[in-house]
Amino acid sequence: MNNSQFYPNNPAPSAAPSNSGQETAALILGIASCVTGWCCCPFIAPVLSIIGIVMACMSRRDGRFSGKALAGLICSIAGLVGAVISFIIYIMSPQIYAALIEYLRALGYDVDSIIGTETGA
């Protein structure tokens, strides 16, 4: 029996893992932009998103577009979309609040006693 068939001396080389700093930065910025864009701060998220997209695209210049870079690109785009939606909600919130109050008044609710404001006499 030929042992070299089961235990080769020279195994096939595996693909080298991609440890590019740009890919890691794109992923971290993408995750940060998702968190800030959808949750707390729609003003910082566009900056993080744009930098994450640029870093992901720059890592593609090396000839490979690894999973980290792709995940960073997707997260950055999702964070940018979340920031735009959050910003629109932030801008529209006074109008939405006023429309809700008027709707509740039209339904007959005593909104002024609930929120603690008194309207003019």
pLDDT in tens, 60-105: 776 667 888 899 999 999 999 999 988 888 888 888 888 888 888 8
Mean pLDDT of the chain: 80
Specify if 95 maps to a domain: yes
Reported as a pLDDT band with limits 50, 70 and 90, residue 30 is very high
Q: Three-state DSSP class for 119?
A: coil
Specify if 72 maps to a domain: yes
Reported as a pLDDT band with limits 50, 70 and 90, residue 108 is confident
Specify if 58 maps to a domain: yes
Specify if 11 maps to a domain: no
Range of the domain at 64: 19-112
Residues 6+ apart with CB under 8 A from 121: none
Specify if 85 maps to a domain: yes
pLDDT tens column, 41-70: 778 999 999 999 999 988 877 666 788 889
* pTM, full prediction: 0.65
Specify if 9 maps to a domain: no
Highest mean pLDDT among 5-14, 17-26, 56-65, 105-114: 105-114
Per-residue DSSP letters for 25-54? Answer: HHHHHHHHHHHIIIII-TTTHHHHHHHHHH
Distance CA 10, CA 116 (A): 80
Specify if 4 maps to a domain: no
Tell whether the model's pLDDT for residue 14 goes beyond 80: no
Specify if 10 maps to a domain: no
